[in-house]
Chain A
Amino acid sequence: MTWGDLSHNTLVVAVGVAAVGFASGVVGSLCVLRKRALAGDAAAHATLVGVAGAFLVTGRRDLVTLLVGAVVAACAGLGVLVLVRRLTRTRDDAATAIVIGVSFGAGIALISGLPAWGYPGSAGLEQFLLGHTAALTRHDAMLLAMIAVGAIAVVAAILKEATLVAFDESFASATGWPVWVIDAIVVGLVAVMVVVGLPAVGAVLVTALVVIPPVAARLWTDRVGTLVVVSGVIGLVAAVSGVAVSASQSRLATGPLVVLTASMLFAVSLVIGPRRGVVARRLAGLQRSDRRGLVDEPGGHDA
């Protein structure tokens, strides 16, 4: 297929995927600034159980049914994560690894068990593992785009509050902000974006679309507002180009292509990003030798 052959349907799907990519970058910014990247990964891996579970319970496999199952599972995964951390005093990283392992294992077990329960093959559910946009209908793409736009609107509304909590939780709390409410909104947005990205990128890699764009964007700017937008653009470019390549080579799963594109953009940013990219840092290093002596000791200290 060449660009000339793009049907109306393909265009709509492309617009949907673009919106999802942009929203992933935008929501991902808050998630990464709050240092909650791993929570997104836990949510993403939990979605498979939800997809398989929704299919087994309802017998339907339209996108809405499956994604509702995925949202429920993602939220349940995050809930378990919080409980494990609180009740067992397991450290954050270990708790996340446990949730990822258990939920992903259960999801794969369910999907691979489908033939044994009388379903032919895995009923197409394995597409949610690595992503595959070819099966996406125009209607599905519109739905994903609408959810993505909603998520962007929520980020725009709470950017001030989320930035405050991400930067200085204790100051936020001391000045009366309900930190847990703001955190819940941010994590909830991440769960939604992970689910919305599922059809295009797949459960294994979808967090990469949430995490890589903001990390790359950080290399271009020192301001939160700009970071959110740049991150969105990187997510959009990654998602659209990944999907385009996969559409022209339909045997390739979409997810890996999207993530590889995002990684490439990250690598480029790492070299030429004006804020702490390799080149910029070299230049700053040259200037610093002139400034030495003007700045007082940063100095560490005990509590």
Chain B
Amino acid sequence: MTEPRAGAPCVELHDVTVAYGRRPVVWNVDLTIDSACLFGIIGPNGAGKSTLVKAALGLVPLVGGEVTFFGRPLSQVRSRVGYVPQRESVDWDFPVNVTDVVLMGTYGRLGWFRRPGDRERRLARECLDRVGLADVATRQIGKLSGGQQQRVFLARALAQQADVYFLDEPMAGVDVRSQERIFRVLDELKAEGRLVVVVHHDLRTAAEWFDRVALVDRRLVASGSTAETLTPDNLRQTYAGHIDVLDDVGRAIAARERTP
């Protein structure tokens, strides 16, 4: 899983606008990410962060603009793009076990009608090992904790063996131990030369975790390295009306600067 990446990870959003019905949700977003890193998409609730990611993945239609991966449209490079949807988006009562879900990450490469074989099962086991869930491989997914469920989704994405990953609120409703494990895996992915894009709403941890961030509030407020982007001024623009969170962030950033 550590072979050299072909070409730098690159996602380009050009003038992206998304609307639900006639109500625009995100507009005129220009964003280029061209190196392996942990990239946070940060903003208040309802800012359109998830929508932006779904639009990039073709899950909601663009009203305007264009998205390219490695300079090509998504349809040509699907197998290089991994996805972790929000945990709440599925029914955890569904009659599948942990391994079944992780194997779904291999379906894209398998294509129509071919069933997962030994190779896929081995890969699924490795991915489960990586997220620390090898011991619940045969458990029905509803019998897991929230953090374990999130790690199952992460393992499924690992099984996609992609070069760019999108994760939608992977730390939401997740216990601290799972958060640490997830973060460690994301860090490993970065070290392997992959790009990891994370939708995240907690400003305090954002300052700690991400190399680069984009601040989004229906439009792109600012983007760049975390230290340069999470400035009081940018945050005020992004979180107008959510001022209470800013003090926390100020403290978190200050703490980070003290311990480089």
Contacts and interface: CB of A to CB of B under 8 A. Distances in A.
Interface of A: 33, 157-158, 160-161, 163-164, 166-168, 170-171, 173-177, 218, 221-224, 227, 275, 295-303
B145 A298 contact: yes
B45 A223 contact: no
A174 B75 CA distance: 10
B147 A296 contact: yes
B143 to A, nearest CB: 9
Interface in B80-104: 81, 83, 85-86, 88-91, 94-97, 100-101, 104
B146 A298 contact: yes
Interface stretch (B50-58, B237-245, B252-260): B50-58
B173 A167 contact: no
B231 interface: no
B94 to A, nearest CB: 5
A295 B113 contact: no
Interface of B: 45, 50, 54, 57-59, 75, 78-79, 81, 83, 85-86, 88-91, 94-97, 100-101, 104, 107-108, 110, 112-113, 115, 140, 145-147, 156, 160, 169, 172-175, 177-178
19 contacts: A33-B94, A167-B96, A173-B59, A174-B57, A174-B83, A175-B107, A175-B160, A176-B78, A218-B95, A222-B95, A227-B95, A275-B140, A296-B147, A296-B175, A297-B175, A298-B173, A299-B174, A300-B173, A301-B88
A33 B112 CA distance: 20
The dominant DSSP class at the A interface is: loop
Contacts of A160: 107, 110, 113, 115
Given A164-B104, A177-B108, 13 more contacts: A161-B112, A164-B107, A168-B85, A168-B104, A170-B89, A171-B83, A175-B78, A175-B83, A222-B140, A223-B96, A296-B175, A297-B146, A299-B175
Nearest to A35: B91
A166 B94 contact: yes
Q: Most B CB atoms within 10 A — which of A160, A161, A175?
A: A175
A134 to B, nearest CB: 38
A160 B110 CA distance: 11
Contacts of B101: 167
Contacts of A173: 57-59
A222 B58 contact: no
Contact of A224 (B54, B95, B108, B147): B95
Contacts of A296: 145-147, 175, 177-178
A174 B59 contact: yes
Contacts of A218: 95
A82 to B, nearest CB: 18
Nearest to B92: A298
A295 B149 CA distance: 12
Nearest to B178: A296
Contacts of B81: 174
A303 B95 contact: no
A201 to B, nearest CB: 26
Nearest to B109: A175
B142 to A, nearest CB: 8
A295 B104 CA distance: 26
A192 B88 CA distance: 33
Contacts of A275: 140
Given A160-B107, A170-B59, A303 B86 contact: yes
B173 A222 contact: no
Contact of A167 (B94, B113, B140, B160): B94
Contact of A168 (B54, B89, B95, B177): B89
A163 B100 CA distance: 10
Contacts of A174: 57-59, 81, 83, 85
Contacts of B89: 168, 170
Contacts of B86: 303
Q: Most B CB atoms within 10 A — which of A166, A171, A227, A301?
A: A171
A297 B145 contact: yes
A92 B173 CA distance: 30
Contacts of A295: 145
Contacts of A158: 113
A167 B93 CA distance: 10
A51 to B, nearest CB: 35
Contacts of A157: 113
A218 B45 CA distance: 37
Q: Most A CB atoms within 10 A — which of B85, B160, B177, B178?
A: B85
**Which 5 residue pairs spanning A and B have beta carbons closest together?**
A299-B173, A301-B173, A296-B175, A175-B108, A222-B140
